[in-house]
Structure 1
Amino acid sequence: MEDYVTGVLTGTGLAPGALAAAAVAAAVLLIYFGAAASLARKSPAAARLSSLGETRRRQTRDLALLKAPADQPGGLMKAFVPASMTERSELENKLSQAGFSQAGALRTFTLIRVLLGLALPGALLLVIAAAKTPGLLPPNPVTAQVAGWTNMQVFQALSGLVGAGFFGPIYVLNARAAARRRRIEEAFPNALDLIRISVDSGLGFDAAMTRVGNELAQVSPDLAFELLSVQRQIQAGRARQDALLDMSSRTGVETVRSFANVALQSMQFGTSMASALATYSDDLRNQREMRAQEMASKLPVKMSAVLASLMLPALIMITIGPVVIRYIRFIAN
C-alpha cells in the first residue's frame, strides 16, 4: 500500500514540498468548514436560553411601564426633592415628556443636579488651589488669570457654577421635552390616518394601535413607544381609559389629548370608532392647514424688522450722503 501511494505521488511530477503544502492547505480547509458548520448549527439549549432571555427583557420593560407610585423621599434626598406633591408631580410629568418614564427617574435627575452643583465649583476650587501652588502646573494664561482673582471674583464664579450645575439640567430637560413634544406632534397626524385606515379595514382599535406602533418604530420611535405602551398597559390589566389619559399626560401634546378624549367618548357612547376617527382626522388636517397659513401670515411681519434694519441704513446713506459730502466740501472751501 505504501509503495502504491509513493508511486501515485511520484507519478504526479510534483515536488515533495508542494505536495506537503497542498496537504496542509486541504487540512486547514477541512478544519475551517467543519468549525463553520458546527458554529452555524444553533443548539436547542442555546435557542432556549435566548428565548428565555428575550422573555425576561420583555417582562422587565412591562414592569418599567407599570411602575409603582414613587415613595416619599427620605434622608439627604428629602432636602433636594420638592416637598410639595404638586411640584414633584410636575417634575415627574416633565421627565415623562422628555422620555424618562422609568421608575426612579426623579431620584436620578435630582442626584445629577446635586452632583453637578457640587462638582463644578469643586473643580474650580481645585484649579484655583493648583494655580496658587508654585510648580504644580506649567505656566499658562488660564492659571495666571485664575491666580489673580480676588475673593469677590472667586465667590461670584462659585455662585455662578453652583447655579449652572443645579439649574442647568432643568433647562436641558425643558429643551428635551419640547423637542420630543414637537416630534410627536409632527408624526401624530400620519399615525392617526394609519389608525383610521386600519379600523376601516376591520381591525379593532387596540389591534390598530399595536399595528401602527410597530410600523412607526423606525420612523417615529417616540410616538411608537407611546402607542405600544398603552397596549402593554391594557394587556397587563389596566383600564383603557386610564392608559389613554396617562399617554396624553405623558406626552403633553394637545392633539394626543384630544385623540384620547375622542376615542373614549366613542367607546362610552357606542358610536362608530371609524367615523369618529375620520371626523377628528379631517379636523386635525384643517388645523394643520390653518397653522401653516398662520405661520405664512406671520412671515412678512417677522421679515419687516430685518429688512428695515438692513435697508434703512443704506437708504439713509444714499439720500443724505451726497448732501453731507456737499456741505463738507463747501465748508472746506
Structure 2
Amino acid sequence: MAPASGPTLLGVDVLWVATILSGVAAAAVAFAIYAALSVRDPMAKRVKALNERREQLKAGITASTSKRRAKLVQKSETADKLRDLLSSFKMLQDSQVRVAQQKLLQAGIRNKDLAFVVIFGRVALPIVLGGLVALWVYGLDMFPTWGPLKRYALVAGTLILSYKAPDIYLKNLITKRSHAIRKGLPDALDLLVICAEAGLTVDAAFHRVAKELGKAYPELGEEYALTAIELGFLTDRRQAFENLSKRVALEAVKGVVTTMIQTEKYGTPLASALRVLSAEFRNERMMRAEEKAARLPAIMTVPLILFILPVLFVVILGPAACSISDSFINGQTPS
C-alpha cells in the first residue's frame, strides 16, 4: 500500500514547501527580535569623541592617559611609515592628502592620519586583489571555458573596483551622514531661533541645540556640539563656522554658516535670518517627500509583477489546481 502524500502543485509537495517557508519566516522573526534587542546607544561613542576634542582644544594634547597616548603614538608611527613609503614612490601629493582628510571629516572620522591609509589602499588593493584574480584566472585556469575577453573583463573589473573601493566606502559613509543631518536641520534651526530670541549667545545656543537634539539626530548633535566647543576656545569665531561647513557635505549647512558669519560680522538679527532659512529647508524637505511619493507607483511596478502577483495567483489558483490534479489522478486509478 503506497504511503499517503499531501496535495501537490506542478509535482511539488505543497506541505513540504509550506514547512520550509514557515522555517524561513521563523528565522527572520528571530533575527528581527535579536536586532531590535541588540541596538546600542549611538551617543556613547560620539560623546567620547567630543570629550577628546575638548581636551585637544584646551591643552593641545590628544590623550589624557598613557594607554591612549601609546595607541595614538602607534597610529602616528604607522601613518608616518605609510607616508614615507608613498613619498619614496612619488605617489603622495598635498592636494590629495587634503581631499582625503576632508572626506574623512565629512564621513565622521576625526583621525586625519587615516588619509594616508586611504591613499595607500588605493595603491595596495589593486595590486593584491588584482594579482590574486589574475593568478586565479590565468595561472590556475579556473575558468577554462571562458574566452580571452571574459577573462580580461574580470581582471580589469577587479582592478578598477579595488582602486575605487576606498572612495566608494567613504562616499557611502558621507551620503548616509549627510542624509541624517539634512533630516534634523530644520528642527535645529527652529531651536536656534528660540535660543536666539531667549537671549542666549551663539555658542550657548549651539550647545543647547546639541543637547536637545543629540538623541534624535546624533550626527547633527555631534557637529553642533563640536562647533559650540570651537566657538568657546578658538580665537577666530569665523573659523569655527567654516570648520562646520567643511565637516558637513551639504549646501544647506553652508547657507547656515554664511548666515552665521554675516550676523557675526554685520550685527544683523540672527533670529529672523534663521527663521527664513528654516522655512526654506522645511519646504525643500516637503518637496523632496512629494517627489519620492510621486515616484512610488513607478518603482513598485517591478516588485508587483515579479513578487506580489505570482504569489497572489498561487494563493487563488493553487487550491483549484490541487483539486483538479487529484481528480485526474483518482479518475485514472483503476478500481
Confirm whether residue 163 of structure 1 aligns to residue 160 of structure 2. yes
| 1:175-194 superposed Cα distances (whole Å, 9 cap, x missing partner) | 22111111111111111112
1:145 aligned counterpart, secondary structure: coil
Q: Which deviations, in whole Å up to 9, do the C-alpha atoms of 1:162-202 show, x marking residues without a partner?
A: 32222122222222211111111111111111222222233
Question: What code does the residue aligned with 2:121 have?
Answer: I
Within the candidate set 55, 61, 70, 1:59 is matched to: 55
Please give the residue correspondences for 1:281-300 in structure 2 after superposition, counting only pairs within 5 Å. 281-296=278-293
For residue 102 of structure 1, give the secondary structure of its aligned residue in structure 2.
coil
| Partner residue, 1:17 | none
Shift in Å, 1:257: 0.9
Structure number with the bigger relative contact order (C-alpha 8 A, sep ≥ 6) is 2
Following superposition, the deviation at residue 203 of structure 1 comes to 1.9
2:266 corresponding residue in structure 1: 269
AA of the residue aligned to 1:195: L
Match of 1:331 in 2: none
* Structure 2 counterpart of 1:93: 102
Q: Is the 8 A contact 2:86 2:120 kept in 1?
A: no
Q: CA RMSD in A?
A: 4.1
1:215 corresponds in structure 2 to 212
| Aligned mate of 1:104, from 85, 105, 113 | 113
**Percentage identity across aligned positions?**
28
1:250 & 1:149 partners in 2: Cα distance? 47
- Contact preservation (8 Å) 2:223, 2:244: yes
1:113 aligned onto 2:133:
no
Moved more, 153-162 or 241-250: 153-162
Question: Which residue of structure 1 lines up, in the alignment, with residue 250 of structure 2?
Answer: 253
Structure whose CA Rg is larger: 1
TM-score normalised per structure 2: 0.57
Q: Is the 8 A contact 2:106 2:247 kept in 1?
A: yes
8 Å Cα contact 1:64-1:103 kept in structure 2: no
Q: CA deviation at 1:225?
A: 1.8
Q: CA deviation at 1:159?
A: 3.6
Cα offset, 1:97, TM superposition? 1.6
Contact 2:107–2:170 at 8 Å: present in 1 too?
A: yes
Show structure 2 runs of 5+ residues with no match: 1-49, 63-78, 307-335
* TM-score normalised over the length of structure 1: 0.58
CA distance in 2 between counterparts of 1:294 and 1:121 reads 42
The answer (yes or no) to whether the contact 2:57–2:233 under 8 Å persists in 1 is: no
2:221 maps to 224
Q: Give the counterpart letter for 2:187 in structure 1.
A: N
* CA distance, structure 1, for counterparts of residue 137 and residue 98 of structure 2: 40
Aligned match of 1:10: none
Q: 1:269 to 1:61 in 2, by over 3 A?
A: closer
Letter in 1 for 2:218: P
Q: 1:158 to 1:244 in 2, by over 3 A?
A: same
Report the alpha carbon displacement of residue 283 of structure 1 after superposing the two structures with TM: 2.8
- Cα drift, residue 253 of structure 1: 0.7
CA distance in 1, matches of 2:250, 2:299: 29
The question of whether the paired residues in 2 share the 8 Å contact of 1:64 and 1:102 is answered with no
1:279 aligns with 2:276: yes
Unaligned runs of 5+ in 1: 1-53, 133-143, 311-333
Q: 8 Å contact 2:86–2:92 — kept in the other structure? A: no
What are the residue-to-residue correspondences of 1:1-333 with 2, within 5 Å? 58-60=54-56, 74-77=84-87, 79=89, 81=91, 83=93, 85=95, 87-124=96-133, 145=142, 157-296=154-293, 302=298
